Structure 1
Amino acid sequence: MTVRSLPRPLALAAAALLVLAPVAGCSSSGGSSSDKQPDTALALPADQEAEAVGGGTKPAFEPADVHLAVGGSVGVSLTSAPLPHGWQLSGEGDPAVLRRGADAKLSSCPPDSAGCGHTVRQTWTATAAGSTTLTWRYVDRASCKEPGNAASCKALAVKDVRVTVG
């Protein structure tokens, strides 16, 4: 299995976000039904990086490339904070190549904790040889014409994960 993931500065920012989540008043959750670790794990860029890209102060996010064997899995972690902007999955890829599993909550926030976000891992399992792309959009939630529909929101940044199975 070969993985070309986020550029080093983005990977460090995403890792720092995951490490700092408990410091920000969030707690880890050990009771998920999806505790199995994926074969390949990626994290979407931190809100601060996505805001910078969305504001035009940094270059756009490079796609990540993941190579899996049939039966292998990829997990993508994202942090969702109660902000007007956030990551939303907008393209789940080809279901003939990847099957989406249950989301696993990796952290949560205590009640009434301002600004704390919870981290979720979305997981897909490779079911057949082929290629497909998973797409997340960093959107302005206040602009959504249809709640929960990322395609109806103004996109500030986009992150693609290209998955090749075989």
Structure 2
Amino acid sequence: MKVSLVAVMSVNGLLARDDKVSTDWSSKEDKAFFKEFTMKTGVVVMGRKTFETIGSTPLSGRLNVVMTRKPHIFQKHRHQNLFFTNMEPKTLLKYLGDKGFNHVAVIGGPQIYSLFLEKGLITDLYLTIEPLFLSGRIGFKYLQRDYNLHLEEIIRLSHNTILLHYSLQ
């Protein structure tokens, strides 16, 4: 299965200002790429905090998988394209594969990115670089080791915004 990490980052390496604020600072071009890409995959995987920062409502047109240690407390959030789980990443990917998905977009946050990276499950990284120095503190802070990447392509989303597509080696 193809598993793509999808993220947006400021030029100073931040993913967000803090864990309560979404990517309200990213460009409309990044948002358009994100929507088009994740609609193609059909499924997005995120952590509870990311789900809360997007308003605790599922993204339409895709299966939304929210990873949480306590999925039972989210019973009130019943929706046909929303699934809360505490499955391990490898088990979750097998489950999604059995449901017919062959490409998954992991959309955050930093703990979920690290969890999938540490298990060696990420095949691709799609990283939008936005032209701003962002005040804040949230970056890829949970990584336990280095990862070698292979640049596949550079896409100019706008005059100032670029998208880097890497594969993991």
- Normalising to structure 1: TM-score of the pair? 0.33
Normalized per residue, the structure richer in strand is: 1
Structure number with higher relative contact order (C-alpha < 8 Å, ≥ 6 residues apart): 2
